[in-house]
Chains A and B, each alone.
Chain A
Amino acid sequence: MISTATLLAIVLAPLAGAILAGLLGRKIGRTGAHSVTILGVGIACILSIRVLYQLVWGGAPAYNQDIYTWFQIGGIGANVGFLVDRLSAMMMVVVTFVSLMVHVYTVGYMADDDGYQRFFSYIALFTFFMLMLVMSNNFLQLFFGWEGVGLVSYLLIGFWFKKPSASYAGMKAFIVNRVGDLGFVLGIAAALHFLGSLDYSTAFAHAPSLTGQTVEVIGGHPWSAATLICILLFIGAMGKSAQVPLHVWLPDSMEGPTPISALIHAATMVTAGVFMVARMSPLFELSGTALSVVMVTGATGAFFLGLIGITQFDIKRVIAYSTLSQLGYMMAALGASAYAAGIFHLMTHAFFKALLFLGAGSVIMAMHHEQDMRHMGGLRRYMPITYATMWIGSLALCGIPPFAGFYSKDAIIEAVGASHVWGAGYAYWCVLLGVFVTATYTFRMMHLTFHGAPRFRVDPHAGHGHDGHAEPGVLTHAPHETPWVVTVPLVLLAIPSLAIGYFAARPLLYGGFFGSAISVLPAHDVLAGMAAEFHGPLALAVHSVATTPFWLAIAGIALTSYIYLLKPTLAGTISKALGPLYRIVDHKFYFDELYTALFARGSVALGKALWKGADAGAIDGLVVNGSASLVGRIARRARTLQSGYLYHYAFAMIVGLILLLAGFVLVPHA
């Protein structure tokens, strides 16, 4: 049995750490701040593992209880409560484990930062919100966690708030996410309206009643209620999980310190949308249209956003575009009703992507906060642990067997290929070609960073100027391997990146691991078909050597190796030869330019027009002050009547008398 006390401890321990580090940061000092938060997240991690163990091996039933009533109005109730089944328990372990690794890593990464305590407070607070999100048993608390992680993401992207680009990126992330949340909140309202409850289990129990229910959003065009609910909810997922066209905030989020890029913008928060759609599988299964939308959106991102990664020179941005692409893979899996494959990839990706980001952070530390790969090269000799672990992360990302990413990505590609929903053909090509793209940007990054000759120079006298801004590519001392607080998390993340796929593939994909947490209609169940072909993880790895994805990955690795190791000038030649095509990708398909013109500048212009035109102009200028001055003018005229001169009055009396008499005479009597 899972006890309420355990679950409360899991949620509240990181919160307590966050509050202590945040409010008493100065009193307890740096050591105090990282101790309380690591302790809090550590407790949450250990207890989460225990909960998962109880559920999977201990035979404990899923936990579903309300903790307290948030409000009860008529028949509409909103509660705070937990639903802990295998799906949420797995998420809890992933979240707390990666969070714990990032906490430890931060001790090294942020060692010289003024905002040390503040940073620990934020990441512990993030863990609290993320746990509230995944453990929720209702839409309300889901939204609480959802927006809560958005808040912490905002604070952390803008962590170095003195940098205008950082505070701008934070704001952009929050507002773009709010566009998604606009859809999400309407989706919650739709779920309440059609299903009668904010509680998952009650709402899902009513889900069958949705079949045949329609709603006329636009007059004369009835929509299925299930489609409306699911698409609205998915808009929320598009914001949080950075799907096209709401992906623009994620690359900019790299302004934040690297540990949070790993934790929030790779491993956990951005996968909340994937988790949410999987959690809502009883609803999404009812709408083929919604599944198509999910699949096509995801697959589009998987291929096209991956392409951008090939053109980037900032090491973190390459990984960021990689994250966008991988999130697309997860979504595509969900669209194919292979929820288990999507969640499986979420888990493996959490490990190897956190590893890659933390590895990149380790490189950045060694390079004295230089992120441009054009000034790196040859780092493998200076930092062997980082180098080795990055290799593992890269192979996992490219889906080379038997690394973790292979099992999850292979399942996704096959599931999308087997799917019959509208758009599956297009999606299949996207996810398939995406493999080549992934291998290309990944090994381009590996080569530029670690291989070849160093493109930086060591000059002990450089950068001692007053402003501290050294010339790019000039270091004051040679790069060296980072301290153990940095490398130990890398190693600990490399282990699951290497092995978790091998062990988890069978139970997660074909073993009914998630039980009733995920429901799939028999007609949609592509994984069931694939199960017949599955003869164990080893056989799959061996068999893969004869498949297209494997050779696409190899092709990507080979091509980049040839270009960057043997013919470094070729890269420039190719990008020139591609001309406009390269420019479009290099400019990220002009999304940012378009949005800035349309939404940022457009809104300000509209606001100014409304303010000056309508508010100050029409209402205040014409009506309010206009009527005031009208009264004034009438009064001035009226004042001249009361001049005080007797002859004026006498004249007026005479005129009045004449008019009166004339009227009396002229108007005919009744």
Chain B
Amino acid sequence: MTHWPFLSLLIWVPIAGAVPVLLAGDRRPQLARWLALLAALLTLAVNLAMLSGFDYHSATMQFVESKPWIPMLHVHYALGVDGIAMALILLTTITTVLVIIGAWQAINSRVHQYMAAMLVLSGFMTGVFAATDALLFYVFFEAQLIPMFLIIGVWGGPRRVYAALKFFLYTFLGSIFMLLGLIYLYLKSGTFDMAAWQALPLGMNAQTWLFFAFLLAFAVKIPMVPVHTWLPDAHVEAPTGGSVVLAAVMLKIGAYGLIRFALPVTPDAAQHYAWLVVALSLIAVIYIGYVALVQEDMKKLVAYSSIAHMGFVTLGLFIVFMLIRAHDGDAAQLGLQGAMVQMISHGFVSGALFTSIGVMYDRLHTRLIKDYGGLARVMPWFAVFMVFFAMANTGLPGTSGFVGEFMVILASFAASPWLALLAAFTLVIGAGYTLWLVKRVVWGTPASSKVEAMPDINAREALVLAAFAAFTLLIGIWPEPLVKLLDPAVNQLVQTLGHSKL
């Protein structure tokens, strides 16, 4: 069973699937939709099939593939996954299916191109998570910008060109530094094999330069304060599906990059500058929380909320260094697990929130909070989902939103009660901006007769929202399966980070 090139299938089935979707053409949108759904479902099926062959006790890369690609530079087409990558790939394949169903009616122009772009995007993102060769990683990392750039630029809102360019340039700027770092590491080691780099001895000076190159590249992607301002613009202009993929999967690529490069390749520099990332993460939680509070555009509010929630991811990743210094291995694992669970959870919760906003936007064509109100009466089933996802966003126990934040807060306390206090402030400010949104949109009376006429969600929308809700609830009630999937890889990473390269 392991002889099958499963990971290649995950990458190339959706990309190959994009070809017939494109061929369906502008005249046959329904065919394009079904073909796209078929390709996405096929990919998901392959991914689920992999789970049965996955060794939950091993920290080594599994489903490994390797072929020389550019022999002159020792570049390989090398793929492999551990628990961390597997979890993120699952998030990608699931999200892709839901996004394609979600766009069924919302996208009316150039359906075939939109669907094809989504499939290609899905393949490239999986490639990022599956690559074990740094240059291959870089190629996928850059390549996935293109379909997203198109999705925002073609199907986006009125300021889509500004937003798409801002998104592209921001990310691109960061990735230049990453490329420099990769070239340096290649010259130093003679290989692009990421595993080899983890074992490569590096002086503090080199580590510091590399660390900041990687940090800059990935901080933009996550995004961390202060390089976050592209995200609200990109979300506001992106079509619903673009926002969902952006929030659910793409932001995780940044954190994944930190896990694969900044942490294990430059552990001493990361240890030395952990305070900086921890500080920026806490700023993200608190400062962005306040900014989210006063947003008038729902998408901007959720975008800012995303930045605050991703702050917990970077906090969890870097609090680990403080805990390793304090020889608290259990708490270090807890912090790292928290970061990972938060990523997966945020994928579902923010994806669901953007889908919900899309449902409203499709009916009223406005994203302004003040244009809504009273949806609990007009769209009762929608209101149920909306309140549920809002509660997940505030980290209510029983939803996935709680699990990661809880773990990170517990771990932070072991490092310092003050850090935990600042992180836990999300309980208050997160509830503040989310419930105020709910109060103005869901409760109260309809703002206009147009709101009054909004029909409740149809079966297709209910299916998408219910799927998101099921994952949110499942992880919230029983996170152990996810934790188990991640455990060996997380454990090994904590071990690696404990060993100085100096």
Which residues on A are within 8 Å of B, measured CB to CB?
68-76, 140, 143-144, 146-148, 151, 154-155, 158, 161-162, 164, 167-168, 170-171, 174-175, 178-179, 181-182, 185-186, 188-190, 192-193, 215, 217, 228, 603-604, 606-608, 610-611, 614-616, 619-620, 623-624, 628
Contact = CB atoms under 8 A, between A and B. Distances in A.
5 A-B pairs with least C-beta separation: A189-B413, A74-B330, A167-B443, A607-B294, A161-B443
Contacts of A148: 396-398
Contact of A175 (B376, B431, B444): B431
7 contacts: A161-B442, A167-B439, A167-B443, A182-B428, A186-B421, A193-B331, A603-B293
Contacts of A624: 166, 170, 229-230
Given A74-B333, A178-B428, A161 B376 contact: yes
Contact of A186 (B391, B424, B428, B429): B424
- Of the candidates B292, B406, B412, the one having the most CB atoms from chain A within 10 angstroms of its own CB is B406
Contacts of B391: 151
A628 B230 CA distance: 13
A623 B169 CA distance: 13
Contacts of A228: 417
Contacts of A70: 478-480
B226 interface: yes
Contact of B487 (A73, A190, A611): A73
Given A193-B413, A615-B229, A151 B396 contact: yes
B420 A189 contact: yes
Contacts of B387: 155
Interface string B406-443: 11011011100110110011011101100110110011
Interface in B169-185: 169-170
Nearest to A23: B384
B480 A71 contact: yes
B396 A73 contact: no
B374 A182 contact: no
B361 interface: no
Contacts of B487: 73
B425 A182 contact: yes
Contact of B417 (A72, A215, A603, A615): A215
A217 B425 contact: no
Contact of A143 (B397, B418, B432, B491): B397
A233 to B, nearest CB: 13
Contacts of A175: 428, 431-432, 435
Contacts of B480: 68-72
B330 A185 contact: no
Nearest to B440: A167
Contacts of B427: 178, 181-182, 185
Contacts of A606: 290
A469 to B, nearest CB: 16
A222 to B, nearest CB: 13
A603 B406 CA distance: 24
B127 to A, nearest CB: 29
A170 B442 CA distance: 13
A158 B428 contact: no
A610 B287 contact: yes
A540 to B, nearest CB: 43
A195 to B, nearest CB: 12
Nearest to A160: B443
B478 A68 contact: yes
Given A185-B409, A610-B290, A161 B444 contact: yes
A162 B409 contact: no
A75 B287 CA distance: 34
A24 to B, nearest CB: 13
Contacts of A608: 294
A133 to B, nearest CB: 11
Interface string B327-365: 001110110010000000000000000000000000000
Contacts of A620: 229
A217 B396 contact: no
Given A76-B334, A151-B391, 4 more contacts: A69-B480, A72-B483, A73-B334, A624-B229
B366 interface: no
Contacts of B292: 607
A611 B304 CA distance: 11
A464 B446 CA distance: 26
A185 B424 contact: yes
Contact of B410 (A72, A192, A215): A192
A179 B483 contact: no
Given A189-B413, A614-B287, A182 B424 contact: yes
- Looking at chain B's contact residues, is the secondary structure mostly helix, strand, loop, or mixed? helix
Contact of A174 (B410, B421, B435): B435
Contacts of B429: 603
B166 A162 contact: no
Contact of A189 (B170, B293, B402, B409): B409
A619 B228 CA distance: 9
B291 interface: yes
B445 interface: yes
B367 interface: no
B409 A74 contact: no
Contact of A168 (B290, B374, B412, B439): B439
A467 to B, nearest CB: 14
- Of the candidates B292, B330, B443, B478, the one having the most CB atoms from chain A within 10 angstroms of its own CB is B443
Contacts of A71: 337, 403, 407, 479-480, 483
Contacts of A619: 226, 229
Contacts of A140: 397, 406
A231 to B, nearest CB: 12
Contacts of B418: 217
Contact of A171 (B166, B230, B330, B436): B436
B377 interface: yes
B387 to A, nearest CB: 8
B290 A607 contact: yes
- Of the candidates B337, B432, B445, B478, the one having the most CB atoms from chain A within 10 angstroms of its own CB is B432
Given A144-B398, A186-B424, A607 B445 contact: no
A190 B407 CA distance: 13
Contacts of B444: 161-162, 164, 167
A144 B290 contact: no
Contacts of B483: 71-73
A228 B420 CA distance: 14
A162 B377 contact: yes
Interface string B469-501: 000000000111001000100010000000000
A494 B445 CA distance: 40
- Of the candidates A140, A167, A168, the one having the most CB atoms from chain B within 10 angstroms of its own CB is A167
A603 B432 contact: yes
Nearest to A606: B290
Contacts of B432: 175, 603
- Of the candidates B169, B421, B425, B427, the one having the most CB atoms from chain A within 10 angstroms of its own CB is B427
A178 B229 CA distance: 29
- Of the candidates B295, B333, B334, the one having the most CB atoms from chain A within 10 angstroms of its own CB is B334
Contacts of B421: 182, 186
Nearest to B334: A73
A642 B290 CA distance: 49
B431 A174 contact: yes
A73 B337 contact: yes
A615 B435 CA distance: 23
- Of the candidates A175, A217, A607, the one having the most CB atoms from chain B within 10 angstroms of its own CB is A607
Contacts of A164: 444
Given A71-B480, A162-B444, A171-B436, A185 B406 contact: yes
Nearest to B383: A161
Contacts of A155: 387
Nearest to B295: A611
A12 B402 CA distance: 22
Contacts of A75: 330
A479 B318 CA distance: 67
Contact of B291 (A167, A181, A615): A615
